[in-house]
Amino acid sequence: MRLWRKKDDDVASVLRKVGKREPFRWVRQLDAVELERLADNVRVELDTCGSRDDLLESAARLHYQTRPRIEGRLKRGEDVVDEEAARGRALALIFEHRYGVPLERALDEGLEIDDATEENNLQIERVLRQLGLAYSVLDEGHWVFELEAASVHVRHYVAAGSLDVYSPVRLWEEDEDVSPLLLRQNGGSVAGAFWGICTFESAGDHLCACARVATADLQAASVSFALASVAALVAAAARAADND
């Protein structure tokens, strides 16, 4: 497989390619210093990606984190300059160049899973079983189970060394009052959980109760604490809806 083996300025070239399409045309307006700074940030991210799956995870994480934000700004006619989104798009193009598969297709159809990633996911499943959770597998590294009041997703990001726990509580609608109010409560959230906006391919953007656990030396107690924190935020959202 032919890998990305060119001069150091290739990342800047990729960014210029990113800037050929909306909503990233602002990239082509950056001066040389600013473009190189952004390219350095992409290189830092690339340095953390030791494998194909690491790069896929990093590109996918930025894609899903930034897409709702960009789409919301476009709808409101606001400034769409977003360096995080540009970094994600650059990583997606580099992934496609290295492995011959567009990011979107890799996410939709999946890729062959290497042995190390599979073992890491099996470790997560052992912890979930230890907690007595009756989970279903949605995808490699992605599980879901049901609480009394909500569905809870557990997603493993191997490259980031993190386990994300999140539960959708309501459709994200920027013109209503409750969801933005809950988002502004971050920093005073319950235990280890926080509010976030998650994109579900078939259901759109949702306000979610979220928690994140480091997977290094993962303990069942840490996952249990994250689940309890998410459940508490789900309950808080229900109370807010009742008072709306």
Q: Domains of the chain: which residue ranges?
A: 10-109, 115-243
Mean pLDDT of 175-202: 65
Residue 176 pLDDT class (50, 70, 90 cuts): low
Q: How far apart are CA 103 and CA 66, in angstroms?
A: 15
Residues with Cβ < 8 Å from 225, sequence gap 6 or more? 191, 192
Q: How far apart are CA 117 and CA 121, in angstroms?
A: 6
In the prediction, which pLDDT does 5 show?
34
CATH architecture designation of domain 115-243: 2-Layer Sandwich (3.30)
In the prediction, which pLDDT does 199 show?
72
Higher pLDDT among residues 180 and 163, named by residue: 163
In the prediction, which pLDDT does 8 show?
35
In the prediction, which pLDDT does 1 show?
29
Question: pLDDT at residue 165 above 70?
Answer: yes
**Does residue 86 sit in helix, strand or coil?**
helix
Question: pLDDT at residue 189 above 60?
Answer: no
Angle between helices 115-130 and 220-243 (to 10 degrees): 70
